[in-house]
Amino acid sequence: MHTDKIDAPEGGIARHFRSVYNGVLITAAGYDRAEAMQTVEDGVADIVAFGRDFISNPDLVERLRADAKLTPYDRKTFYLQPDMPLEAGYTDYPFLGEEDKGARSSGFVWEA
């Protein structure tokens, strides 16, 4: 189930599941660093997973640790597109400090 595509109960889908489930609860979908930390601190979930942000931030763990800005992902590079280089998307997003170069290593220009 894609939780970002449903009408969530008041307080959020993770909070709803926590009220009926006491095991290890993992949540995802659209969290930033502060929201993820607050969700775990509040006991709403045990783990907050990051998926799409890992695609556009090859060093996501270091960025979260440093509270650094995340590179936005580009959904159209999630899957092979006829008008893009093969490496566009999964392997060419910049590491922290490389964002000012303005282009990914594939030459595909990403929009910040």
In a domain, 82, yes or no: no
In a domain, 4, yes or no: yes
Which H or E element spans position 53?
A: helix 52-56
Give CA 46 to chain center in angstroms: 17
Total tally of structural domains belonging to the chain: 1
Judge if pTM exceeds 0.75: no
pLDDT tens for residues 72-107? Answer: 888 877 777 777 777 777 777 888 887 655 545 555
Terminal Cα-to-Cα distance of the chain (whole angstroms):
29
In a domain, 109, yes or no: no
In contact, 24 and 47? CB cutoff 8 Å: yes
In a domain, 1, yes or no: yes
DSSP-assigned beta bridge partners for residue 27: 48
User: CA-to-CA distance for 23 and 4, rounded, in angstroms?
Assistant: 22
Give CA 1 to chain center in angstroms: 17
In a domain, 26, yes or no: yes
pLDDT tens for residues 27-74? Answer: 998 899 999 999 999 999 999 999 889 888 989 999 999 999 998 888
Task: State the residue range of the domain holding 29.
Answer: 1-49
In a domain, 29, yes or no: yes
Tokens of 57: 């931030």
In contact, 66 and 59? CB cutoff 8 Å: no
In a domain, 59, yes or no: no
Of 29, 24, 32, nearest to 67 (Cα)?
A: 32
In a domain, 100, yes or no: no
